[in-house]
Amino acid sequence: MPESTHHSPMAIVNPQADAVPAEAKPSRRGFMRWALRALQAIIGAVLGVPAVCYLSQSGPRASGRREFRRVARLSEIVERGMLSPNTGKRVYEVPVWDTLRDAWTIFPNEILGRVWLVFDPQVPLDPKRPESALTAFTSACPHLGCSVRYALDADQFVCPCHAGVFDLSGDVVDGPPPRPMDRLAVRLVRDQASPPNRPDYFVEVRFQEFLPEQPTPIPKT
């Protein structure tokens, strides 16, 4: 007898096709595709937006150079500042710190500059208007930018580069500086941990650099 060409129905049935109806497969695939694209878009936004912002910065940037920066405590100036022999004022130099960053690197603890603080403990202190008792000068000489120092024996600020001399008010006493030492805005912030009967304050200055050789202070941009 010739061999039968009839195949059993079991031989051509796909078990998976039985498990999932044919009309449901495209819709599930489509949903998976859509979900994958949505996930990619979210990851792209999360990673991409900060990267674009970061890369658009050119060169190292400070975290806001003109913000007030905490540089000392008032008690620290009184305890550690040099005592002016002629005025009784306290003279104290502090660095101004910042964190610089460019597209790739963070440079923590960069020194933006230095500041001289002059505190007169004999003047009644008004924490809201401390300028009458507390003055902040940038230590950069207004002549050509060298660092000004306090000479205790002369009770004056002196610049070693060209013998510029200033008094404790920052006024020019001698030498080529074309203007007084540059003053910075200063404010006091109460240290809440200090006792009510002996309040202490954080000293904050708004650091700023100025152009040298000008008769008046012109901020650098």
Sites of contact with ligand FES (CB under 6 A) = 141, 143-144, 146, 159, 161-162, 164, 175-177
Residue 138 C-beta: closest distance to ligand FES, Å? 12
Tell me if residue 46 falls in helix, strand or coil: helix
Instruction: Select 91 or 148, whichever has its Cβ closest to ligand FES.
Output: 148
CA distance 145 to 133: 26
125's CB contacts (< 8 A; 6+ apart) are 133, 134
In angstroms, how far is the first alpha carbon of the chain from the final one? 104
Buried b (16+ CB within 10 A) or exposed e, 34-59: eeeeeeeeeeeeeeeeeeeeeeeeee
Residue 194 C-beta: closest distance to ligand FES, Å? 38
Residue 128 C-beta: closest distance to ligand FES, Å? 34
Instruction: Select 51 or 173, whichever has its Cβ closest to ligand FES.
Output: 173
Instruction: Select 103 or 161, whichever has its Cβ closest to ligand FES.
Output: 161
Instruction: Select 121 or 176, whichever has its Cβ closest to ligand FES.
Output: 176
Residue 111 C-beta: closest distance to ligand FES, Å? 19
Residue 135 C-beta: closest distance to ligand FES, Å? 19
Helix (H) or strand (E) holding 118: strand 106-119
Maximum pairwise Cα distance, the chain = 133
Instruction: Select 130 or 177, whichever has its Cβ closest to ligand FES.
Output: 177
